[in-house]
Amino acid sequence: MRLRPWCVGACLAVVLSAAPATYAGVDTGTPLQVDAQIGGNTSAVAVAGGLLYLGIGTRIEVLDVSEPSRPLRVGSSAPLPEQPSAIVVASGYAFVADGDAGVYVLDVHDPTQPVGIGTYQPAGASQRVVVDGSTAYVAAGDAGLHILDVSDPSAPQEIGNYNAAAGVLDVALGPGVAYVAVDDGATNRGMRVALPHLRTLDVSDPRNPIELGIADVSAGALAPSLMVADPDHGRVYQYWNLFGAIGCDTAGIHVLDVSDPTTPTNVADLPATCGAGSIAGNGDRFAVAASAGSALSLYRPGSAQARTDLMSGVMASGVAVDGTLLFVAGEDQASGQSEVRVFDTSSTGGSPAPLGTYAEAALSHAQGTAAGQRIYLGDRGRFSIVDLSQPDRPVEVGAATLPAAGGLANWAVDVSVVGAYAYVIDGPSLLTFSIADPTHPTLVNLQDLGVGTFGVAHAGAYLYVIVGVNPATPGAGLQYELAILDLTDPAHPQTRGTWSDVGGLWNGLVIDGTRAYLTAGRALNVLDVVDALHPRVLGSAPFTDVGGDRLAVTGQTVFVNGFEGVHAYDVTDPTQPVELPVFGGDGGLVSSVALTGSTLYAAYWSGGGLRAFDVSDPTNPVLLGAYPNIPNGSVAASVFALGGHVLTSTYSGLWVLHVTPTQ
């Protein structure tokens, strides 16, 4: 591989060893501290000087795109507090709109080491940021438009503002003029929606912005508005969604004549696809990326729209235009990877031509298990092995694509590791991977066990899989059983029997020694598996909550996730398990639990992020720390304990944290 001249020395580690950047820890203000974050869905994207700046997870990654056919990752920032919603690069600095965390300024003079140097926190959420010289303009929703002096990027200072009645959704710039999408909110079909008007502001004196004109473009309901300005031709293109009772009914693009900023006028409308995440362009062309339908629309002002299906199967989230090059970021639904695809749009008569692709594992919403210094994750379309020997430098060392499972979307549910093999359940199937070489996991066997699989665990030479099977009576709903598989030949597990002594809905399974703990039939059931082929119920205790698909055991206590919180059971007497007080419910719905020593970690669905509890006395758990601000933490899918660290997988990627001792 040919190295770019400016990074010959600095890029060697990245190119030759695929080592990730070192991440500075994020101080959470609690004993639960962030070490690293990798993967995640893509968000914002910007291009400047042959470099592409990509919001992925909560980081800004830098790609060298001077050779568009071979995008090369050269650097990464430390994790930011939120998932970036917009990036603009000017004079060696990247300005990042980071939602509720405000605006972050990164020094990117050395693209191999983006370093955060300054922040600005407006009253509202920073949705968009644009820069003109030493002045930045921040659309902050209900908090209005904030105008900043960034002549010292390390200390942005507010020098002006523009407040609208219901908020500023987006901002774009022309010479001495700011175009703002103002939410004049209204009700549409019983729903409160954003009804934007384009307003033009004279910002020749940024300390005193003056409203010049208003264009009523409320035919569409925008949430949020997306705009791109073409000041050379006196045009602003504004994307809109019109929402109905159950979602987006239609979408389009307003073409606004702003040649006279005192009388901006809607002069045309273009069709568009619902669900746009980004719009970008220049005077010759602009593009809209939409996750709905995985559509990519390319427009050339003055000519017919060209819509392509080049992003088929990809949830597009960000788009940037640089000359005739088009860059589109999104998540590939089949491979479970976050991608940037590069297209050549120079042809005026045909579709954009694909040039190159950059991809990395999303590791979002993954399930799996920890073993040794690695975690084994089943994600959408992907089985991944992540090395944690250096917790502040996690790296995916190997991966394999999951085959389509019975016509269903391939999204692994659980993983169990036994020796040199990993057993992944996905839809109706059990997939066996050889992990003897962790850099190249190899699928060696696939077998269908039923209609669906819902949990997997092992004990000794046997594997136990929760399987859903068709009922004997049509329409009666799934029935559940344990499929018991012999691992004498670990590459080809053989079913030796099934067990189904408990009725009702089955949720989760964990095995500790000769006992198995199964949430089924609205109860925690304690099973004796000394006779591996003939489990027997020793005792049970009520579990009437929703959830119950993630269990953890320490000593004589079993912990189970639930919507009401963490459920704990004393199983000292396995014939009479006793439910202890539920805890941690004030953080929201608990999606997963994991243990390391006497520390229990709980991941939350509904905004609770991640919490750590001391459960040395399970009758009186003590909160050690919380990190509620994991972006998209409302969908924290899973949590894994590995030595002194904990990992949680969310839509913003895989997070590595640890609990620091209290003073």
- Which of 118-132, 348-362, 393-407, 616-630 is predicted with the least confidence, judged by mean pLDDT? 393-407
Q: In what order do the strands lie in the sheet with 42-48?
A: 42-48, 51-56, 59-64, 72-76
**Residue with the larger pLDDT of the pair 321 and 474:** 321
42 conformational bin, left if phi > 0, alpha if psi -120 to 50, beta if neither: beta
pLDDT tens digit string along 365-417?
A: 788 888 889 999 988 788 999 999 998 889 999 999 888 654 444 677 899 99
Judged by DSSP in three states, 634 sits in helix
What's the confidence (pLDDT) of residue 76? 94
Average pLDDT value over all residues in the chain? 84
Distances (CA, A) of 160 to 129, 137, 203: 15, 9, 10
Task: Please write the tens of the pLDDT for every residue from 541-591.
Answer: 999 999 999 999 999 999 999 999 999 999 999 999 999 999 998 877 898
Cβ neighbour number for residue 510 with a 10 Å cutoff: 18
For residues 263 and 217, which has the higher predicted lDDT (pLDDT)?
263
Higher pLDDT, 99 or 165: 99
pLDDT of residue 244: 59
Burial (0-12, 13-18, 19+ Cβ within 10 Å), 205: exposed
What confidence score (pLDDT) does residue 653 get? 87
What are 250's strand-pairing partners?
242
Q: Name the more confident of 73 and 122.
A: 73
Q: What is the pLDDT of residue 167?
A: 82
Mean pLDDT of 611-621: 94
Say what the pLDDT of residue 541 is: 97
Yes or no: say if 444 and 432 are a contact pair by the CB < 8 Å rule: yes
- On the question of pLDDT at 220 being above 60, the answer is no
Confidence of residue 631 (pLDDT cuts 50, 70, 90): low
The residue type of 150 is V
Least confident window among 189-193, 613-617, 657-661: 189-193
> Per residue in 58-76, pLDDT tens?
999 999 999 999 999 999 9
Q: Which range in 163-167, 177-181, 232-236 is most confidently predicted, on average pLDDT?
A: 177-181
Nearest Cα residue to 612 out of 659, 649, 569, 655: 659
pLDDT in tens, 20-54: 322 233 444 567 888 888 888 888 999 999 999 99
Whole-number pLDDT of residue 14? 30
pLDDT at residue 15, as a whole number:
27
Q: What is the pTM of this model?
A: 0.85
The span from the CA of 479 to the CA of 468, in Å, is: 6
Window from 86-100, 116-130, 626-640 with minimum mean pLDDT: 626-640
Residues 6+ apart with CB under 8 A from 179: 171, 172, 173, 198, 199, 200, 201, 227, 229, 236, 258, 264
* Between residues 136 and 230, the one the model is more confident about: 136
Please write the tens of the pLDDT for every residue from 271-297: 777 776 678 877 677 777 665 545 667
Name the percent of the chain lying above pLDDT 70: 83
Q: Averaged over 162-174, what is the pLDDT?
A: 85
Q: pLDDT by residue (tens digit) across 245-257? A: 556 677 778 888 9
3 state DSSP class of 91: coil
Residue, of 179 and 244, whose pLDDT is higher: 179
Q: SS3 for 410?
A: coil
> Structure tokens of 242?
């019109």
Q: Which of 31, 45, 25 has its CA nearest to residue 85?
A: 45
Reported as a single tens digit per residue, the pLDDT across 461-508 is: 999 999 999 887 777 788 999 999 999 999 999 999 999 999 888 999
- The per-residue pLDDT for 663 is 46
**Tell me, what's the pLDDT at 311?**
62
Q: Does residue 355 register a pLDDT over 50?
A: yes
Percent of the chain with pLDDT over 90: 49
Residue predicted with more confidence, 635 or 480: 480
Nearest residue to 506 via CA among 483, 522, 517, 495: 522
Q: How far apart are CA 161 and CA 142, in angstroms?
A: 12
